[in-house]
Chain A
Amino acid sequence: MIAKQLVEKAMKKAHGAQASLSLSESVDVSYESDRLKSAESSQRTDMSIRVIVDGKVGFSHTTDINDVDGVVSRALELAEFGSPAHYQFPSPKDGTDVNVYDRAILGITKDEMVTIGEEMIALVKEYKPEILLYAGASKSSRKGEFANSNGVEYADESTIFSASVYGEWIRGTDILSAGHGLGWRKRGIDHIEIARKAIELFKMAEKIARIKSGDMPVIFTPEGMYTLLLSLEMGFNGKNVYLGSSPLAGKLGEKIADEKLTIIDNPLIDYAPNSSKYDAEGVPHQITPLIEKGVAKNFLYDLDTAGRAGATTTGHGTGCGPTNIVIETGDTSYEGMLKNTKNGLLVHNVMGLGQGNPISGEFSVNVQLGYRIQNGEIIGRVKDVMLAGNTYDAIKDIVAIGDKAEWVGGSLLTPHIQIGRLSVVAQ
């Protein structure tokens, strides 16, 4: 095992070490402007080591599997100047098994991937021939190794398959882009369903609807939920909490949201893209509630940050970021949400997210794909509209949560969520 060799080599001088190796291969097929455009095969090697020498940490990475000596010696050199280690590498602890490998993905041929792209394009074309389409399918497999100086040692294998279709519909000077895609660690992706979702977005956008500036109720589609989640992911990041930049610091146990809202970080869902038995520091993954019935429950920590903050790692190494985010369903149907809206907005995709001051919760974004709701019905797509608000205010103002959750991109499982009032500025 190469990771173990790296650790052993480092331990001649270091007081602790952790190493990982990742070998991945992938095949992609892509369509541009309705036509098969390219096929690609990729091979990738990543090998890295973290060492602790005299209480200080050094890190080094290489893409050359033969560079064992080099990568170890560079990490050791860096440790002399490194940050103080506030942790020890963990000892072996059994985790929960989670499925992340499907042999069937390996067997998918390029020709099948070409057919998948073709079928998705054909389906959207059947709806409207003038939509210009971009589509792709991709499969990849990865073999990983991990070892540390406290005896943790494992090898794992994972696969992932993804498919997507995006279209561009130009009418006069109106340019509309919409589409859908999904990645999953099991072959089961239904590309026909992906194309159907894309068509649905175009159908609702056939008409352009005018909207007046003002405060109004807003329904976020599962994809649109990123608008609110960005700030929350930053707020629950243990590093931001420790450094005092998270507005949630000191608020565990407090009610920060409407009691309908429960958000969980779950890396143990079979075949979800961010699932795995261990995190990148050899710590067994676990389910971590972030918000339970509106109350802030846990922040996310990795070894280093937990050590500094006097907390315990939650298995979010390295970086204290989430794995798969799951928002629990509520009791309102999507149709019911629409019906209860006299004048409002359905938001699916926004532009400019994160390019403000997301840690404070503030957002001010262009509604790239959103729809006007009037008297309980979607009457068309809105354009040149800015949506603004504060995430921390918005989650206290949840009117309804949908009764059906959908996977978005593969790492977020959420229902529709309706917020009482947000600010809309239009032409």
Chain B
Amino acid sequence: MRERIEKALSKGNAEYLDIRIEDVTSSWINFRGEELDSIGSSKSLGGIVRALVKGGWGYSTFNDLSDLEVRVREACESAHMVGKEQTKFAKSEPAVDEIRSELVKDFREISLSEKLKTIKEYNDIILGYNEKIRTSNVGYSDRFRKIFYANSEEAYIEDERPNIFVYTSATARDGDNVQRGFESSGGSTGFQLVEGFHEKAEQAAKKAVELLSAPPIKGGKYTVIIDPKLAGVFAHEAFGHLSESDFVYENDRMKELMVLGKRFGSDILNIIDDGSFPGQLGTHKYDDEGTKTRSNYLIKDGILVGRLHSRETAAKMNEMPTGNARSVGYEFPPIVRMTNTYIDKGNSTFDDMIKDIKLGLYAINSIGGQTSMEMFTFSAACGYMIRDGKVAEMVRDVVLTGNVFDTLMNIDMISDTVVWSPGGPGGCGKGGQAPLRVGLGGPHVRVNNVIVGGRQ
């Protein structure tokens, strides 16, 4: 493959050129209710050529690899049509490297019947939990992605990126009231990640049934303690996206808003993105344009100190590339993305955080979140009211919203242990590219004056 790619690169006519070819094998198993809903496999091979000319990009994506040189020519022609300015593209040490996956239990060597048996056990646990359980959605997926990357600066990287997950969801129903509980696990280190999930499957069923008798939360403004799973999503939505430089680098007003040194939170707030953090969902040695990943402080002691870059955004802002140019697959060029984002630990205990809250909300486990840069939402799987300093009754339909310029300032306590969220089917979506695996972490975080949606 290396020879073919390098030969094609040599035929290009651009200031910068790269080719990424991906060979992906995947398989999946899915139960809905008692019966197997689908079982299947997919093999895909495809690639993308990127060409940069006078600041303009040309891309060509393809499944047909028979004539790489034609694809290179297409991308170069597009780049020549687009480019009218001056190319700015930060230097990156051209790496030559081969990264082999390190699987504790290689899922490619596990028989389909064993995979099926494992997943069916989880499904049976959910369906047998009690009579309130109406149905289930239990899924398994594995994917082995091998990337071949080369650029016109003589970098050449082969990178194996396995991914596996299990997802157990239980649906409980009582008349028109339908509730769901779920648990998931996943990552890049092998089949063992999806084994022994029986207890979690049971928890999913238990949660669905419990939610049937939980009232919807009353809408309003609350002091909220978010648990570590939700804190990870909070860091990602509330601030992470705003630190992605492609939202900033050609936007003068945004540059003013996001000037380094500006205070966004109190002294206790630290937010970090680290693509080199071992064993997390967004961990890789190199990003998708060959830059080494690293740890990047975004907020340190409440102050904006850094942001996430590709080689292009770094050059245009006179900063260093940070290893955050990522792509979900060969159909897309890399764009600036988070890797593993977390709120760093503070020094409070959970007891300290809750004891003086008269009426508040303890929001637990994340369903997801969304941002429009300034405003954002994040959804908890469930919540418990806090009454007179104690965790009280369970509530459902807990969706919180915030505003980046207020909400981070309203964080007044952070607990002393960071927990990373387990893997699963989800990921981050941006520019039509989803789901991108990202690590999400955090401690317990207390935020004042959070708007929670709901009937009053």
Contact = CB atoms under 8 A, between A and B. Distances in A.
B51 to A, nearest CB: 10
A25 B85 CA distance: 29
Interface in B35-85: 35-46, 56-64, 74-75, 78-79, 81-82, 84-85
B452 A386 contact: yes
A62 B62 CA distance: 13
B63 A245 contact: no
A383 B377 CA distance: 13
B187 to A, nearest CB: 23
Interface stretch (A272-280, A334-342, A360-368): A360-368
Given A35-B250, A60-B40, A383 B375 contact: yes
Contact of B399 (A64, A111, A213, A356): A356
Contacts of B178: 245-247, 357, 359-360
B320 interface: no
Nearest to A354: B368
B397 A364 contact: yes
Given A59-B38, A355-B399, A389-B455, A384 B375 contact: yes
A357 B375 contact: no
Contact of B32 (A35, A44, A175, A239): A239
A177 interface: yes
B251 interface: yes
B331 interface: yes
Interface stretch (A4-12, A74-82, A143-151): A74-82
B455 A388 contact: yes
A173 interface: yes
Given A247-B178, A365-B453, A352 B369 contact: yes
Interface residues of A, number: 79
Interface stretch (A97-105, A287-295, A407-415, A419-427): A419-427
Interface in A46-84: 57-65, 67, 70-71, 74-75, 77-78, 81-84
B173 to A, nearest CB: 6
A244 B60 contact: no
Contact of A41 (B74, B113, B250): B74
Contacts of B82: 36-39
A41 B32 CA distance: 39
Size bracket, chain B contacts: 35 or more
A60 B38 CA distance: 11
B232 to A, nearest CB: 15
Contacts of A246: 178
A67 B396 CA distance: 49
B177 interface: yes
Contact of B403 (A41, A60, A244, A384): A384
B43 A386 contact: no
Given A81-B112, A245-B134, A366-B377, A42 B60 contact: yes
B79 to A, nearest CB: 8
Contacts of A245: 134-135, 171, 173, 178
B35 A83 contact: yes
A62 B44 CA distance: 5
A38 B64 contact: no
Contacts of A111: 81
A351 B402 CA distance: 11
A180 B233 CA distance: 28
B13 to A, nearest CB: 15
A32 interface: yes
Contacts of A359: 171, 178, 180
Nearest to B64: A43
Contacts of A81: 39, 112-113, 116
Contacts of A388: 219, 397, 399, 453-455
B179 interface: yes
B152 interface: no
B456 A63 contact: no
Contacts of A77: 112
A157 interface: no
A173 B456 contact: no
Contact of A44 (B56, B63, B177, B451): B63
Interface in A376-409: 383-389, 392
B42 A83 contact: no
B4 interface: no
B58 A38 contact: yes
Given A213-B220, A368-B375, A355 B456 contact: no
B367 interface: yes
A308 B38 CA distance: 13
A367 B4 CA distance: 51
A240 to B, nearest CB: 9
Which of B254, B375, B396 has the most chain A CB atoms inside 10 A of its CB?
Answer: B375
A33 B39 contact: no
A40 interface: yes
A174 interface: yes
Given A362-B216, A366-B401, A40 B61 contact: yes
Nearest to B43: A62
A45 interface: yes
Given A64-B45, A423-B219, A423-B454, A386 B401 contact: yes
B176 interface: yes
Interface in B360-376: 367-376
B64 A65 contact: yes
Nearest to A362: B397
Given A62-B42, A426-B451, A243 B401 contact: no
A110 B58 CA distance: 12
B405 interface: yes
Contact of B251 (A33, A239, A362): A33
Contacts of B378: 352
Nearest to A58: B39
28 contacts: A37-B56, A39-B56, A59-B38, A60-B40, A61-B42, A63-B63, A78-B40, A78-B41, A81-B39, A83-B37, A114-B81, A173-B374, A175-B374, A177-B373, A243-B135, A245-B173, A246-B178, A247-B176, A352-B378, A357-B179, A359-B180, A364-B219, A364-B397, A386-B219, A388-B397, A388-B454, A389-B455, A423-B219
Shortest beta-carbon contacts, A-B, top 7 = A386-B453, A352-B377, A364-B453, A33-B250, A39-B78, A59-B40, A83-B36
Given A37-B56, A40-B58, A308-B35, 8 more contacts: A33-B250, A41-B78, A83-B35, A168-B254, A213-B456, A352-B368, A355-B377, A368-B375
